[in-house]
Chains A and B, each alone.
Chain A
C-alpha cells in the first residue's frame, strides 16, 4: 500500500535539517551532565570549563535545530496532528530554557558554577531529553515524518 508521509519543509535534497542537526545539542547536553558529574567528584576545573563550552555549543546549534523544527512543524498540518510532535516541541523548549539558565549558572566562578544547581539542571535536561528524543524518534520511525514516500514524493 503506497503511503504519503508527512514532509519535512526544512530539508536539503530530501534530508531533513532538523534530524541532521538535533544530535549535536543532544550530545552536548548529555556530555555537559557527564563533565559536571566528573567536576563534582574531582573539583578539577578543566571539567567545569568543558561543561561551559559544551553548553555554549549546544545552545548555539539549538538555534538552528529549533528553527528547522519549527519550520517542519508549521510546514505540514499532518505533523501538528501528532501528539508526539507537541510533547517533543514543548519538552525541548523546556530543555532550552533550563539550559540557558544552566549556562548562566556555569558562568559563575569555580565550584558553585556546577555544584549543586548546575549539575542538577544538567541532569534534569538529560531526563527530559530521554522523553523528547523518544517522541522525536516516534515521529520519524513510526509516523514517517520526513521519510521519503514510496511513490517517490
Chain B
C-alpha cells in the first residue's frame, strides 16, 4: 500500500512543477480586447530575473530616424522625471521602504527583489539637471534633499509638489531656482508603511490647477496582507489643492502610475500594474483613462468581470460594477511611466500618442517589457498597435543593462527616460 502511494506523491510533485500553460504571444494581449487564458495557479511560481551588467559605453536601441544619448549617468536609483517650465530636468532618486517579513515566502521574495533592482542605494532626493544653450546637460545637483521615497512631482504656479510615499509635500519654487532648502509643508498624508507594498505615488495636477491626483497602489499582490491593509489604496486620489481635502476619484486600480492628462481631451490617464501568480499570461497590465467614480476590479475581478478566486469574501456586487480598462499592454510588463507626446521634435509618427515605460517582468520565464513603447492616439483614444521605440535594455545570456521607469518630455521635445538599473537618464530625439 505504502510504496505505490509514496511513488504517486513523488510523481505528483514532479508533474505539477513541470507542467505549465502554453505561452501566449504578447501581441494577442495588446489593445482593447486582450486574449485572457484560463487561470493557472502555480505550485512553484517561475521567477526569472536577469543578471545586471553595466551599460559601459553602450546605449539602448532606437529605430531609424531617432537617436539616443545619456543626459546623466551614475545616479542612485533614478525613478521618475519632471521638466520645469524653464527646461530644468528633475530626477527623483528613490527606493521603497524596507518590507516587513510576514511569511517565510517573503524571505525568498526579498532576495529575488534585491537581484532585480539596482544595487545602488537610492538617494531619496530630487536632482536638477540644466541644459545649456548648446543642449549639453550640466552635472546633476541636489534640488530637494531628505525625502521619503519620493516619486510624483508636479508644479502649479509657484507651488512645487512632491509625492513622498507617505505624504504630499508643497515647496515654494521661483523660476530658475536650482535648489529648494525651505521645508516642505504637508498637504495631505498618503498611505505609507509599515507594510508599503506598492510605494510609488504618482502625481499630477488638473489642467486648471485646482486639484491634484495621486496614484496609491495596493498594499499586496492580491489581499494577502489582509483587507484592513488596503484601506484607501488601489485607487487614484483627488486632492483639493487649497484645502488638502481628498476623495477617492477612481478605485480598483491595483498599482496606478504615470498619471497624466491627455492633452486633447483633458481626460486623466494612467498605466496600471495588474496582479501576479495567475499564470505567465495573466493578468495583462494596462493603459486606461481614469473615470470619475469608476471601479476597475481590483481585487475582486480583472478586465471587467473575470473573478479572482483568491479574494475572500467575494463581492459579486462590486464585480458587477467593474469596468474593463481601455488598452492592455500584455502581461507582467510592469508599466511605470506614461507621457503624451505633444511636442514637435520627434517625427510625425510619434506625435499625439502616448509613450509607456515598461520596467519589465520578473515572474515569467519568457521576459516581457524592458522597453519603451509608443501607442498612437486619435481623438483622445488609443488607435492602433503599440510599437517598440526604445529597446536593447536586455543583453544576451539572460542579462539586463537597464530598466525604464519614469518618462518626461523636455523643453526641446526630447523624450527623457529614467533607467533605475542602469542609473542613467536617457534622452531620445530626432536624428539629424
The answer on a CB contact under 8 Å between B6 and A94 is yes
* Shortest distance between the CB of A40 and any CB in chain B (Å): 9
Is A109 among interface residues, defined by CB-CB distance under 8 A?
yes
Contacts of B277 in A (CB 8 A): 108-109
* B248 interfacial by beta-carbon distance below 8 Å: no
Expressed in whole angstroms, the Cα–Cα distance for A56 and B105 within the complex equals 10
**Shortest distance in angstroms between B289's beta carbon and chain A's nearest beta carbon?**
29
- Verify if A98 is at the interface (C-beta below 8 Å from B): yes
Q: Is the CB of B102 within 8 A of A49?
A: yes
* B311 / chain A contacts, CB cutoff of 8 Å: 110-111
Q: Quick one: given A104-B44, A110-B223, are A43 and B103 in contact (CB under 8 Å)?
A: no
Give CA–CA (A105, B311) in the complex, Å: 16
Q: Which residues of B contact A111 (CB under 8 A)?
A: 309-312
Q: What residues of chain A lie closer than 8 Å to B13, measured between beta carbons?
A: 97, 100-101
Contact assessment for A97 and B9 in the assembled complex, using a CB-CB cutoff below 8 Å: yes
Q: In B199-231, which residues have CB < 8 Å from any A CB? A: 220-226
In the complex the two chains form, is B2's CB within 8 Å of A112's CB? Answer: no
Contact yes or no, A109 B6, CB < 8 A: no
Chain A residues positioned under 8 Å from B16 (CB to CB): 101
Given A93-B6, A107-B103, A109-B222, 13 more A-B residue pairs with CB atoms under 8 Å apart are A43-B312, A45-B223, A52-B103, A90-B6, A94-B5, A98-B9, A101-B9, A104-B43, A108-B41, A108-B277, A109-B220, A109-B224, A112-B309
Interface positions of A (Cβ within 8 A of B): 43-46, 48-49, 52-53, 56, 86-87, 90-91, 93-94, 97-98, 100-101, 104-105, 107-113, 115
Q: List 8 A-B contacts (CB under 8 A).
A: A49-B103, A56-B104, A90-B6, A94-B2, A97-B6, A107-B104, A109-B220, A110-B310
B: residues with CB less than 8 A from A are 2-3, 5-6, 9-10, 12-13, 16, 41-45, 102-105, 220-226, 277, 309-313
